[in-house]
Structure 1
Amino acid sequence: MSSLLTNSTAMTALQTLRSVSSQLSTTQGRISTGQRVATASDNAAYWSIATSMRADNAALSAVSDSLGLSAATVDTEYTALTSVVGDSTGGLVKLQSLLVEAKTAGIDRTKIQADITQIQQQMKGTASAATFNGVNWLSATTATPATVNLVSSFSRVGGTPTTGTIALTTSNYSLYTSTSTGILDTVSGGASVNTLTIATLTDSVADQTTLDGYISKVTAAINSVASAAANLGAVKNRIQTNTDFVQSLMDSVDRGIGQLVDADMNRESTRLAALQVQQQLGVQALSIANNSSQSILSLFR
């Protein structure tokens, strides 16, 4: 039945054109943003998950930055400790050999003391210079914290976030302190590694015993400083391992987010071409349906 009031054919064509235009708009949005879930209205569940994962990745990025700062700090302290241990040319190892040499009968201990003094000053200068970003564990003051927590990881289970840390006790690495309780400035037997002097010692039995005590003191210091350096070396390796893991984890989270919300550009480009053709055909169908009512006029001519 032909009607002037109701053009059902045109209405059907219009509905189809509206549907195609809506799908075309959605596809164009996905192509322009690169995402099939760009807002909560696209897919509330996936959008919520992706938003939470992006927040986690931002936290992991902060952990990565913190690990970089921690690595630089630990490396500075580790380098200084290694220098203080020294070798045959300086440091505690050289100091020990000079004290052993000083036990030689008739030797000029005043000249040996000149070398010892230089080594003592050098070690103290090294400890003072081991500062990164205002942090120095080797030359401690009253402001130096007893424990340092280095941020190492971040995780979230459900709605509960957890931040992992590496705890370090700074007294294990303190060579000098403001209260003279460090590895090198603790006084025992009337002297410390930092203050011992042999200039006035002689070949007497008592002075030789004093030299033996100094040698034992320096040997113990070598063991303590080497142990502290080994500990920091292990921490340094742990930080590097954590850094590599955090970077890999961030990449994994990015891939996971992409699988949830990223658009398949090959599919969307194909769909765009098909919808554009459908839109053109819909416009033509609507035009034909609208023109069909013109044929009714011929009945009245």
Structure 2
Amino acid sequence: MYQSTHIPIPKFPPVDESVTFIGRLCREILRITDPKVTCYIDQMNTWYDMRTHQEVTNSCLFSEIQYSLGTFGLNGLDRLLCFMIVKELQNFLRLYQRMILRDKTVQETLRALQKVVSPLKGIIANSSKIYSSAIAKTPKVWTPYLDSILKDPSLPCPKEDNTLLYEITAYLEAAGTHNPLNKIYVTTKQLSFFPITNFLFLVTQLPKLQYTKNLGMACRKPADAIDWPPLVLGLLTLLKQFHSRYTEQFLALIGQFIRSSMEQSTSQKIPEMPADVVGALMFLEDYVHYTKLPRRVSRCSVCI
């Protein structure tokens, strides 16, 4: 309609499902930073290829994008990513319904585990056997769950007649002065077994990771292909969509896991801290860091 017949807008053959420049740019960023093939090292602000250990890209990329697109272009890119996150969260909710809430075996396993871990302030005897048994009974759940996480009651929102906060939010987002980790993307309902499912998922991933002083948490083998920051931020974003009590229960389960594992190691006179406990502690550390919660939250989760 607005295209000049003398200077037509060129149409290039599609390289993906995108139909606009911003869409192609967005998907290219997601492709080169794919958590299944790259590893983000926070200390270096750099993504590395998991197999070759070669640098893929770094934070300078986003400075160049800002210089090229400007404020309005970045705002458009951000909005597109938000729509993608909404789509992935909706896909996750459908996945949860199908694999958790409609599977009687999984529900019975989670219900039995809930009884064992109650009260959350206690310590579980022979904890490694308890957790391993629950994971072994639900093997088909965790791979699709990981794929969803790595892609990325009442809600804390203003009343409908209060337009001021909506307007302020729009201005803050346009200026880039908002925190996307605090954003609520979808309206959710209560989900049975949600905290313990996410906790058990985290426990299944910890053996694939190891802690080093120089790199922090990284995958043990390239074949495992799991990047730590997207794992933490994926769970954070997911839990943020639900009532805060789900997060409290989730963190309490991690604290119980740490206490129970340490109690078992002490009773067996194992001199070193188990690797999974280190991973769980690092998760609490990073979770508190990204959410900007007080450090006492992580201490209270462990030292109840």
Tell me which interval the TM-score lies in, with the shorter structure as reference length: under 0.3
State TM-score, norm by structure 2: 0.23
- Larger relative contact order, structure 1 or 2 (CA cutoff 8 Å, min sep 6): 1
Instruction: Point out the structure with the larger helix share.
Output: 1
State TM-score, norm by structure 1: 0.23
Bigger Cα Rg: 1
